[in-house]
Amino acid sequence: MHDTPPPATSPRPGGIAARARAAAGPAYLQGLNPEQSRAIETLGGPVLVLAGAGTGKTRVLTTRIAHILTQGLARPGQILAVTFTNKAAREMKERIGKLIGESVEGMPWLGTFHSICVKILRSHAEAVDLKRDFTILDTDDQIRLLKQVIQAADLDEKRWPARQLAASIDRWKNRALTPDKVPSGDAYAFAGMGDELYKAYQARLKTLNAVDFGDLLLEVIRLFRENPDILTSYQDRFRYMLVDEYQDTNVAQYLWLRLLAQKDEPNLCCVGDDDQSIYGWRGAEVDNILRFEKDFPGAVVIRLEQNYRSTSNILEAASHLIAHNEGRLGKTLHTKGDAGDKVTVTCAWDSEEEARLIGDEIERLQRDGESLDDMAILVRASFQMREFEDRFITLGLPYRVIGGPRFYERAEIRDAVAYLRATMQPADDLAFERIVNTPRRGIGDATVRTIHDVARARGIPMMQAALELTESEELKAKARNSLRSLMESFARWRGQLDALPQAELAAIILEESGYTEMWQRERSADAPGRLENLKELLRSMEEFESMLGFLEHISLVMDTESGDDGEKVSLMTLHAAKGLEFGTVFLPGWEEGLFPHQRSLDESGRAGLEEERRLAYVGITRAKRRAALFFATNRRIHGLWQSTAASRFLDELPEKNVEVVDTGSLRTSGGGYGGGYGNSRFDEREPFASTYSTPGWQRAQKNRERTANSNPWKEPPMLEGEVLARSTGTDSGYSVGERVFHQKFGYGRITAVDGNKLTVKFDHSGPKRVLDSFVEKH
């Protein structure tokens, strides 16, 4: 987005300013700050650009490319520019086009890691035992294939779910581990067969002439390693290499880059921000960026610290927060903008009130003339969205959810695509299996198994096996006839491939196969929407040159541009918000356990906490003018009401940039829960201060200090003391059978004690799990 100020005013010919500008260099270099200029003009050898939030990262990247091109240092085909998402690639193309004032269709090597790998693999497929028309499997295909592998190994699918194996394999591939390299500890995890199953899966992929996403990288690495001549040809070709979001690269991507950059003075420019690394759980290695100078000796490190996005209050709050992280390269962001409003922290009674407060504030801002498009609510976990959606619907406030299920991931789209794949590529067993009995045509599990067995035994594709089975007596008459008719249809469709435009043929296929009819008959509420999606699919096909081109596109690009209609508030997860910016940002749910998320702390200890903190940093730095943080003191988690404590991150914000909001509604918000006690601990004038002076909070503080002062290099368990909302194993001072009083639920009797968590059977509201610090002995 526009993370930099607009370029200087258009040149007036002949003026002093114009002459001065001409002396200063080409127009695209105008209006840059010194660091940005350096990042663009430092061209010999490796460069690492540490670009803080809102410092003009994309501008540097695109201008650098424009600069290389206009200086005649390389032709478009000699520049490799890698991004993570298609969206980022698209954006870069557009912006370069604007900069050099012509089409950049000539930048064939600007794309995602994956799309560039596909391109390389297609031209050298044979070298890695693939055919040129190999299929790319997505997660869904992958899981179905793994199910078969698990079955073949005679393992209980329940105990060893395919999903989990898929996740493991994914992790291994992220770390560039082939089956023989899987560490024994990891392999042991899957009934001691992890590596074997992985190997079997890879073998199946090869026979299917297919690769999964991870393979795209790994196969190219293998290609380069086993064929030095091919590697050299690419090293020579890519005179300049640029990588966006370097902090998000995983081991495989790193190795891939390293191979290409294996020459003297590689012109490699990596742009990233270690403070915005939030994808560690997906295999990203912050370490890659932290280690850059060691990996690429002689590297020039340039820091972009001038922020063009946020007010200084927002910037200082975010900077102070992120300074609590240890493993970082360190940057000091500054802005020339004004102080602006302070970052607000508001305490709500529960998530419902939180949504109400935010909804009210949005309406107020709207009345003051702010655009809904310029406001966003960023949540830690998607379940939080529901409360806001409910609230916005009752208010009639238009909103859009960003993220969520993608167009091409919907069942009806995947079915339709499977029909097309099976038509185009008769050897695509997975596609065939998916639709052979959809709509139901009497080809049940037993028949499919027979086809499968024949195919496996003879080493032929299922489609061919099916064809042969229609001519034998092996299948029951009914199944055989049904199968024959389906095979005839496929033959017919294939015959029309060259005669008809792809969208038209696709329409015929969906019609004749009975697929459309299946949804027309279905009378469930979402059937019309699905039919609409199918139409949308056909429409989008028209833009492609051929059916094959279309299929290639959707296997890599899983999103579609959805038309935007009217002003809307945006609702999304913090992860989805990276790279975006809004005038006003609402950040609800800043509570221990939710943010930082308990699971992150449990699974990754200190590293997990630091990643959560970076997430918080990303959240705050999305805001241009206003950042409003919220936390609720009560939240329903898995159906149980839990008292929650304010996030430690709130405590890590600098007081001078933060304003605590007293909503006034706090004092009366206790109503409705057994009534009569309205004694909220936010009764005092300042809810923020009072939160921070409750016994629970203070004890948490003490625990934190104590553990922080003890040997910090101790094993992760040291975190336990820091973490409030989990069992600490310490004696809570309560025992089963005791009577207690809880501010929200009233009187009750303890039925179980688990560390600092108590299960209390409340007289009026039944059994609940609560933290010991929120009840009193009675």
Partner DNA sequence: TATGAGTCTATTTTT
Partner DNA sequence: TAGACTCATA
For DNA, the closer of residues 139 and 481 by Cβ is 139
Contact 461, 426 (CB under 8 A): yes
Whether 698 is catalytic is no
Can you tell me which residue has the tokens 């503080």? 701
Q: Minimum distance between the CB of residue 662 and DNA, rounded to whole angstroms?
A: 31
668 assigned binding-site residue:
no
Which residues form the interface with DNA (CB under 7 A)? 84-87, 112-115, 138-139, 158, 213, 278, 281-282, 380-383, 403, 406, 440, 442, 444, 556-559, 572-573, 575-576, 597, 599-600, 603-604, 608, 612, 636, 638-639
Strand partners, 111: 82
For DNA, the closer of residues 18 and 143 by Cβ is 143
Contact 457, 471 (CB under 8 A): no
Of 141, 212, 244, 720, catalytic: 244
Contact 146, 198 (CB under 8 A): no
Can you tell me which residue has the tokens 């009497």? 442
Q: Minimum distance between the CB of residue 134 and DNA, rounded to whole angstroms?
A: 15
Strand partners, 749: 739, 761
52 assigned binding-site residue:
yes
**Tally of CB atoms within 10 A around 132:** 11
For DNA, the closer of residues 311 and 513 by Cβ is 513
CA angle 387, 401, 361 (to 5 degrees): 55
Q: Minimum distance between the CB of residue 748 and DNA, rounded to whole angstroms?
A: 16
CA 639 to chain centroid, in Å, comes to 27
Sign of the Cα pseudo-torsion (362, 363, 369, 371, in order): positive
Q: Minimum distance between the CB of residue 486 and DNA, rounded to whole angstroms?
A: 14
Whether 751 is catalytic is no
**Tally of CB atoms within 10 A around 705:** 12
For DNA, the closer of residues 47 and 271 by Cβ is 271
Sequence-distant (6+) residues with CB within 8 A of 319 are: 332, 333
The H or E element that residue 136 is part of is strand 135-137
56 assigned binding-site residue:
yes
Q: Minimum distance between the CB of residue 634 and DNA, rounded to whole angstroms?
A: 14
Of 35, 36, 57, 591, catalytic: 57
58 assigned binding-site residue:
yes
Q: CA-CA distances (angstroms) from residue 715 to 300, 605, 711?
A: 35, 9, 9
For DNA, the closer of residues 488 and 603 by Cβ is 603
Q: Minimum distance between the CB of residue 158 and DNA, rounded to whole angstroms?
A: 6
Q: Minimum distance between the CB of residue 85 and DNA, rounded to whole angstroms?
A: 3
Whether 761 is catalytic is no
CA angle 418, 461, 547 (to 5 degrees): 35
For DNA, the closer of residues 32 and 378 by Cβ is 378
Contact 64, 39 (CB under 8 A): yes
CA 580 – CA 575 distance, rounded (Å): 10
For DNA, the closer of residues 668 and 727 by Cβ is 727
CA angle 255, 259, 265 (to 5 degrees): 120
For DNA, the closer of residues 601 and 753 by Cβ is 601
Q: Minimum distance between the CB of residue 556 and DNA, rounded to whole angstroms?
A: 5
CA 172 to chain centroid, in Å, comes to 19
Q: Minimum distance between the CB of residue 401 and DNA, rounded to whole angstroms?
A: 10
For DNA, the closer of residues 84 and 134 by Cβ is 84
CA 36 – CA 49 distance, rounded (Å): 9
Of 35, 245, 273, 316, catalytic: 245
- Residue 439, preceding bond cis, omega within 30 degrees? yes
Of 276, 516, 621, 691, catalytic: 276
Of 622, 625, 626, 726, catalytic: 622
51 assigned binding-site residue:
yes
User: Can you list the positions of beta strands (E) in 542-622?
Assistant: 569-573, 582-587
CA 599 – CA 649 distance, rounded (Å): 16
- Residue 596, preceding bond cis, omega within 30 degrees? yes
Sign of the Cα pseudo-torsion (544, 545, 550, 553, in order): negative
Provide the token pair at 156: 């209980």
680-693 exposure pattern, b = at least 16 Cβ within 10 A, e = fewer: bbbeeeebbebbee
Comparing C-alpha atoms, which of 747, 751, 737 is closest to residue 776? 747
φ, ψ of residue 80 to 5 degrees: the values are -100, 125
How big is the chain, counted in residues? Answer: 778
Whether 245 is catalytic is yes
Of 4, 58, 384, 644, catalytic: 58
Whether 276 is catalytic is yes
Longest dimension (CA), the chain: 91
54 assigned binding-site residue:
yes
Whether 622 is catalytic is yes
Binding residue numbers: 51-58
Residues annotated in a binding site for ATP: 51-58
Instruction: Cite the active site residues.
Output: 57-58, 244-245, 276, 622
